[in-house]
A and B are shown apart, each in its own frame.
Chain A
Amino acid sequence: MKITGANLLRTLLERQGVHTLAGIPGGASLPLYDALHAAGSQNAIRHILTRHEQGAGFIAQGMARVTGRAGVCLATSGPGATNLLTAIADARLDSVPLVAITGQVPQALIGTDAFQEVDTYGLTLPVTKHNFLVRHPAELLEIVPLAFQLAESGRPGPVAIDVPKDVQVAATEVHAWPAPGGPVPSPACPEERIDAVVRLLAGARRPVLYLGGGVITAGAADLAQQLARRISAPVVCTLMALGAMPPDDPLFMGMLGMHATKGANFLLEEADLLVAIGARFDDRATGKAAEFCPHATIIHIDIDAAEIGKIKSASLGLVGDAADILRRLLDRLPTQNHPAWRARAAELRETHPLTAPPRTEDPLNPINLCRFLGEILPPDTIVTTDVGQHQMWVAQAYPVRRPRTLLTSGGLGTMGFGLPAAIGAGLAAPDRRVVCVSGDGSILMNIQELATLAELGLPVAVLIFNNAQLGLVRQQQELFYGRRYVASHFTTVPDFAALARAFGLRGIRLDADRDPLADLAGALAAPGPCVIDIPIHERANVFPMVPPGAANRQMIAEPELTSSHA
């Protein structure tokens, strides 16, 4: 059977079980789009037309972050490919499985500075797990399944496939279809390493579990909770691990690091054993690495061998799947009670609560807003955030109850992530409410995707915490640059409710003087997409804050008056 490269690629994607992909067509990807049109079969792929390729990349990420399976995005050559790069780099840093497919100019034109030619292979090389330039349609039979295998195996990540137009057009003989690519199990961690964990835990008096996003990726949240209870170990989570433990669990200490729950950072100072699981000792989590957990022996469990000892040397490193390691560990680990240590953790938690003025007094205080959202939203709601102060307020105050219900750009910190990721989440989980918490700075970075949202009609609510600032920048200028505010204040802020209506969406603006929380609840209770503009205090800051480069114990606390009126 002779088949064109474009039809071959489409068929291979169908065989992978891809039912939805997001992209924007262009000259160098038109044969592939023609193949998508010709697909009449029942497993035909649904194409989501976005308004910017970065939107397509983050929609694919949103789908991947909810399902754990590789999301797929599609762009043309040149600017199409460069517009995808941020979403690809973002997937790399947050270990999100993604397959990015780009059209390329015909091979005869590669290297000639042809129209819309860019070295996509070279550009994607440092931000992918692996990348391919396809030179012959028959190579797709190997490359496509391999791309999905690489994206989903071990530590997941993005894979790019650059397909020149002539490869899409050329026909090749297909004799047999390859098996779809999928996650390949990692080699098992040796038994003696697990025995060594048991021995180290037996000698610990003040153990702490430090969970990272890898726990969620591995589907090991329940096992991590069992481990915590088995050994009476309080648990701290990174931003990426929020949802791995119920926020009301007595052992849960909250997030660690720059904008931690204060008690979590103090507790780590006292720990004598730290069990890091699927966490990479990122600087936002550890603060000054040399002073992180100064008294603790470190056990580091990670699927990526290169993470063991990268930042902090571990006394014991275990390489493998966290779920497998934890299951085997729990099989042989005796119960340990550390009542004094548990009491100390509880004391730290109670001594250092996250504070906000009473809700009746200040309903639009960001902490109060996030807590209110936690009360009114169904527990399976998927929350996405953009990047900035609102992201940290969500992390601190919104109760993330389940894995994969908080989607946030943790590593790359990409403003503009939230809206398209929310659309992707809505596509992956059509029956659930999706809430994108954004800021007035971030939302404008992919505002064009409101058109995509309006077209799809997904139940995505966009909440804009609007302070007319690049708030986290302004906060740093206030705290560390002598209040010299440069380029952090917006003198013009659009009327977001009107903007939403212009896109064909419901749009409202809350009014602090007219029971705003009731209006918020009402807007969220109504079905379908909407944009809710929420005026917050211009000078509200995120506390505590560890100055960049400082040790985690050096937290800047909030001022006496917790209400942050300007």
Chain B
Amino acid sequence: MSSGLEPAGFPETCPASQDKPEATAAAVLALRVRNHPGTMSHITGLFARRGFNLEAIVCVPVDDGSTSRMLLLVSDEPRLEQVERQLAKLYDVLTVRHRPDLTRDFFAKLAPSAMGAAPGPTA
């Protein structure tokens, strides 16, 4: 599937974290989705139904609110390509990209208490 940096949008404002050893390999997928009440259900439902791991979600409306940017923290496993292809089939999902520049740390910094980690330095 496609890879590379997102052209614009909220994730660019976040600094890419340094690579660190991790318990399980994780990957970050960046989605652009239609912003309406069922979209999140479609995406989380897909992960549940197909038995894919989904560790964290960040979702922010962009533009005029008609679309959202979504970052998914998922397991970096051989089935990841299948996950991406199934995501791409959803009508509400407009694009699916890899974000190799982001790691689990990105999510950890957003939710320090939930991750049981100390808050990172503010940028």
Contacts and interface: CB of A to CB of B under 8 A. Distances in A.
A196 B118 CA distance: 54
A126 B38 contact: no
A150 to B, nearest CB: 6
Contact of B42 (A125, A133, A304, A306): A125
A126 B45 contact: yes
Given A125-B45, A126-B45, A126-B49, A131 B38 contact: yes
Contact of A122 (B41, B49, B81, B91): B41
A306 B38 contact: no
Contacts of A129: 91
Contact of B82 (A130, A133, A150, A306): A306
Contacts of A121: 38, 41
A133 B38 contact: yes
Contacts, number: 29
Nearest to B79: A310
A122 B45 CA distance: 9
A150 B85 contact: no
B88 interface: yes
Contacts of A125: 38, 41-42, 45
Contacts of A114: none
B86 A130 contact: no
A176 to B, nearest CB: 22
A130 B89 CA distance: 10
Interface in B54-85: 81-82, 85
Interface residues of B, number: 15
A305 interface: yes
A309 interface: yes
Given A131-B38, A306-B86, A309-B81, A150 B91 contact: yes
A304 B86 CA distance: 10
A130 B49 CA distance: 15
16 contacts: A121-B38, A125-B38, A125-B41, A125-B42, A125-B45, A126-B49, A130-B91, A133-B37, A150-B91, A305-B88, A306-B85, A306-B86, A306-B88, A306-B89, A309-B81, A309-B82
Contacts of B82: 306, 309-310
A520 to B, nearest CB: 44
Give the interface residue-count category, chain A: 10 to 19
Interface string A356-378: 00000000000000000000000
A122 B85 CA distance: 22
Interface in A290-320: 304-306, 309-310
A137 to B, nearest CB: 17
Question: Chain B interface secondary structure, helix, strand, loop or mixed?
Answer: helix
A280 to B, nearest CB: 13
A262 to B, nearest CB: 32
Interface string A112-139: 0000000001100110011101000000
A309 B41 CA distance: 26
Interface in A258-296: none
Nearest to B44: A125
Interface of A: 121-122, 125-126, 129-131, 133, 150, 304-306, 309-310
Contacts of B88: 305-306
Contacts of A130: 90-92
A129 B86 CA distance: 11
Nearest to B90: A130
A95 to B, nearest CB: 12
Contacts of A126: 45, 49
Contacts of A306: 82, 85-86, 88-89
Nearest to B89: A306
Given A125-B38, A309-B81, A310-B82, A304 B89 contact: yes
A460 to B, nearest CB: 35
Contacts of A122: 41
Nearest to A129: B91
Nearest to B91: A130
Contacts of A150: 91
Given A304-B89, A306-B88, 10 more contacts: A121-B41, A122-B41, A130-B90, A130-B91, A305-B85, A305-B89, A306-B82, A306-B85, A309-B82, A310-B82
A363 B42 CA distance: 52
A310 B49 CA distance: 15
A350 B89 CA distance: 44
B43 to A, nearest CB: 11
Nearest to B87: A306
A326 B90 CA distance: 27
Nearest to B48: A126
Contacts of B37: 133
A472 to B, nearest CB: 26
A122 B41 CA distance: 8
Nearest to B42: A125
A527 to B, nearest CB: 45
A125 B38 CA distance: 9
Contacts of A133: 37-38
Nearest to B49: A126
A333 B121 CA distance: 63
Contacts of A305: 85, 88-89
A122 B38 CA distance: 9
A131 to B, nearest CB: 7
A150 B37 CA distance: 19
B42 to A, nearest CB: 6
Nearest to B46: A126
B56 to A, nearest CB: 22
A70 to B, nearest CB: 16
Contacts of B42: 125
A309 B42 CA distance: 23
A306 B42 CA distance: 17
Contacts of B38: 121, 125, 131, 133
Contacts of B45: 125-126
A306 B45 CA distance: 17
A416 B47 CA distance: 30
